[in-house]
């Protein structure tokens, strides 16, 4: 390479380096500083906006929180009252609403059993009444009935009653529960979750509660009606 070409190349490099080293006019410096600060501020606001609901979703609702009651039909109450050694599948309307959508109503179901011997039921459910367990904020047995959430406490699948085996069975991962909801087999960490149940002026009512899955303790994550 000739000396003239080398000098030209070196001059071009100095111009490039100089462009990065040149801080610019005061107006340009002020504009760049403003844009950098604005970008950081907007990023912080977006991060905070996302963090609040994410963190909030990880926090369980306090166990002494209250929900609303949803009624069963008169026919289903009568069906439950006639129950013997078979659970009864009871349907009702579940209402829910978030801050962005109007009130939604959808059909839901639960399982109801008749309890002839409350002491025997309590003995079969050490995950509810055993030593060291936290008491439920409601009575699991009411009017000689127990209402079970249809959601398996393992990973949230729906279990079904198998009449031939006289047991509840979850088809997802094979958890098995007795008529009383006792955990008999499979990966579920506890027995079936009872729901609040009552009768008001001849109307049977239940409260829909979602509990955290995959943990031995019953941790409330939501109430709905």
pTM recorded for the entire structure? 0.68
Of 149, 142, 131, 132, the residue nearest 191 (C-alpha):
149
Q: What are phi and psi of 198, to 5 degrees?
A: -160, 170
195, 145 Cβ separation under 8 angstroms = no
CB within 8 Å of 126: residues ≥ 6 apart: 133
Per-residue pLDDT tens listing for the chain (225 residues) = 555 555 555 555 555 444 445 555 656 556 666 565 656 656 555 554 444 344 343 333 434 446 788 888 888 888 888 888 899 999 887 776 555 556 667 788 999 999 999 999 999 999 999 998 988 989 999 999 999 999 999 999 999 999 999 999 999 999 999 999 999 999 999 999 999 999 888 888 999 999 999 999 999 888 765
């Amino acid at each position: 390479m000739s000396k003239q070409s080398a000098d030209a190349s070196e001059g071009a490099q100095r111009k490039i380096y100089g462009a990065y080293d040149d801080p610019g006019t005061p107006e340009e410096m002020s504009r760049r500083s403003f844009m950098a600060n604005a970008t950081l501020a907007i990023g912080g606001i977006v991060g905070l906006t996302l963090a609040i609901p994410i963190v909030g979703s990880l926090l369980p609702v306090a166990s002494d929180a209250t929900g609303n009651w949803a009624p069963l039909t008169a026919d289903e109450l009568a069906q439950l009252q006639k129950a013997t050694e078979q659970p009864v599948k009871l349907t009702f309307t579940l209402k829910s609403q978030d801050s962005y959508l109007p009130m939604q109503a959808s059909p839901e179901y639960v399982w109801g059993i008749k309890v002839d011997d409350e002491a025997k039921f309590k003995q079969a459910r050490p995950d509810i009444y055993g030593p060291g367990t936290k008491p439920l904020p409601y009575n699991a047995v009411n009017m000689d009935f127990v209402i079970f959430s249809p959601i398996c406490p393992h990973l949230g699948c729906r279990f079904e009653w198998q009449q031939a085996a006289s047991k509840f069975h979850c088809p997802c991962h094979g958890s098995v529960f007795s008529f009383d909801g006792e955990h008999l087999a499979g990966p579920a960490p506890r027995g079936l979750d009872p729901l609040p149940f009552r009768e008001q002026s001849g109307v049977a009512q239940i409260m829909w509660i979602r509990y955290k899955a995959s943990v031995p303790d019953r941790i409330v994550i939501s109430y709905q009606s």
